[in-house]
Structure 1
Amino acid sequence: MTKQNLILVGGGRFGREVATWISVLDLPFKLLGFIDDEKNSPEIIGPIVEHKPRKDALYLTCFGSGLSRNRVRKILENNGARFANFFDPQVRSASSLDGLSNCILLGHIGISNNVTLGNDLLIHGFASIGHDVTIMDGVTVGAHGFVGGGATLGENCTVHPNAAVLPSVFVGERAIVGAGSVAVRNVQADTTVFGLPAKVIAYGKHGA
């Protein structure tokens, strides 16, 4: 199997986790190193801000924040970078994963039929995505997260581990559903909800 050159954007703990899984799962990538503005180690080949994308390599952002994944991808794409996806072999999807960019689906994940997926996604192991769900750019779904049929996750929102978004519920842009919470009604943009059932505990935009 021919392996594609890959540069990971972000050399922190999550970036190193992704690098380890690429090796363990024997994915079709040859890791060239990391670019990072803050870290300094032999594996860091340079900063993001000064990086000139290589034509012979693909890129993948490794940030927990969807805002950061989306923003950095667009900056590098504007300079000519091409982006990969990390799809764990254990992902099971009844919906097409074609055409996605800069997405990490990490671990045993179930995606049902008629699901619309955006770019810059991070979905962790044992998450379950129901039928007819819409997941927009930059969304993060934590381990064991559940998104019910017909629900919508707005751009750059986060569903934390063991949280559930019930069927047909809309979660707005940059909103946060706290760990272990159950969103039984719509969640407004830039809002944090927590609890069972989930209630608003904070308002305001969250940084990248």
Structure 2
Amino acid sequence: MSTQPLLILGCGGFGRELAAWIAARDMPYAVEGFLDDEKPHAAGVLGPIRDHLPGEVHYLTAFGQGRARHQIRLQLEARGARFATLVSPDTMTATPLAGAANSIFLGACSISSSVALGEDLLIQGFAVVGHDVTIGTGVTISSHAFIGGHARLEPFCTIHPHAVVLPHVVVGEGAVVGAGTVVIKNVPPGATVFGVPAKVIVPGGE
């Protein structure tokens, strides 16, 4: 398989994990290095993000927070950067993923049919997304989470491992769903919910 050069934005644990996955699996990218504002002189880091002038490579953000992924993409796109979509070979999908710029779909996640995808997404291994789900920009869905059909995840919300969002439920912008939580009704924007069934433990307010 021919590969395209890739720079990873962020050289923390997730960035280096991402580079290791790309090297270990049959993916169409070759990591040339990292850019990082906090560690511009660390091993493998080619310099800071803030001063970078994009070249003939693709880029991918490696930040856990969806807002950070989104903001960095906008900054570099304004300078002419092109962003990759990384899809693990064992991803199962009935929805085209290529249009979800700066998004990462990791091992054995499952995306059903007619799913509306934003950009700057992180869908981790073994997460399951049902049919007709809407996933807003900057959403993070962690390992083994389940999103039921016709649910809507508003921008920048985070679904932690093993959480379940039932069909037709709306998770508001910037909300956080705790690990193992079962969400049976809409979650307010900015709220944090936890438990079975989900209860608000931090009110919204965004």
TM bin (shorter chain):
over 0.9
- Partners in 2 of 1:118 and 1:19 — Cα distance? 23
Could you tell which deviates more after superposition, 31-40 or 64-73? 31-40
- Partners in 1 of 2:96 and 2:38 — Cα distance? 36
Trace 1:127-206 onto structure 2 (pairs within 5 A).
127-204=127-204
1:120 is paired with a residue of what secondary structure? coil
- Partners in 1 of 2:27 and 2:110 — Cα distance? 20
Contact 1:35 1:44 in 2 (8 A): yes
Counterpart position of 2:121: 121
- Partners in 2 of 1:195 and 1:162 — Cα distance? 12
- Partners in 2 of 1:98 and 1:5 — Cα distance? 17
- Partners in 2 of 1:69 and 1:23 — Cα distance? 22
4+ residue runs of structure 1 moved beyond 3 angstroms?
none
Contact 1:169 1:185 in 2 (8 A): yes
Question: Is 1:45 aligned to 2:49, yes or no?
Answer: no
Contact 2:106 2:124 in 1 (8 A): yes
Shift of 1:125: 0.7
1:197 is paired with a residue of what secondary structure? coil
Contact 1:5 1:29 in 2 (8 A): yes
Question: Is 1:105 aligned to 2:105, yes or no?
Answer: yes
- Partners in 2 of 1:10 and 1:203 — Cα distance? 31
- Partners in 1 of 2:53 and 2:205 — Cα distance? 31
After superposition, the CA RMSD in angstroms is: 1.1
- Partners in 2 of 1:24 and 1:31 — Cα distance? 12
- Partners in 1 of 2:69 and 2:157 — Cα distance? 12
1:8 is paired with a residue of what secondary structure? strand
- Partners in 1 of 2:107 and 2:171 — Cα distance? 24
Shift of 1:144: 0.2
Could you tell which deviates more after superposition, 58-67 or 90-99? 90-99
Could you tell which deviates more after superposition, 35-44 or 77-86? 35-44
- Partners in 1 of 2:193 and 2:148 — Cα distance? 17
Contact 1:174 1:205 in 2 (8 A): no
The Cα offsets for residues 1-24 of structure 1, whole Å up to 9 and x where unpaired, read as: 321110000000000000000000
- Partners in 2 of 1:42 and 1:110 — Cα distance? 34
- Partners in 2 of 1:126 and 1:116 — Cα distance? 19
Percent identical among aligned pairs is 51
Contact 1:154 1:173 in 2 (8 A): yes
Question: Is 1:24 aligned to 2:24, yes or no?
Answer: yes
1:193 is paired with a residue of what secondary structure? strand
- Partners in 2 of 1:36 and 1:51 — Cα distance? 10
Q: Which runs of 5+ in 2 are unaligned?
A: none
1:50 alignment partner AA: D
Contact 1:174 1:191 in 2 (8 A): yes
- Partners in 2 of 1:133 and 1:28 — Cα distance? 27
2:53 alignment partner AA: K
The Cα offsets for residues 155-205 of structure 1, whole Å up to 9 and x where unpaired, read as: 000000000100000001000000000110000100000000000000256
Contact 1:141 1:158 in 2 (8 A): yes
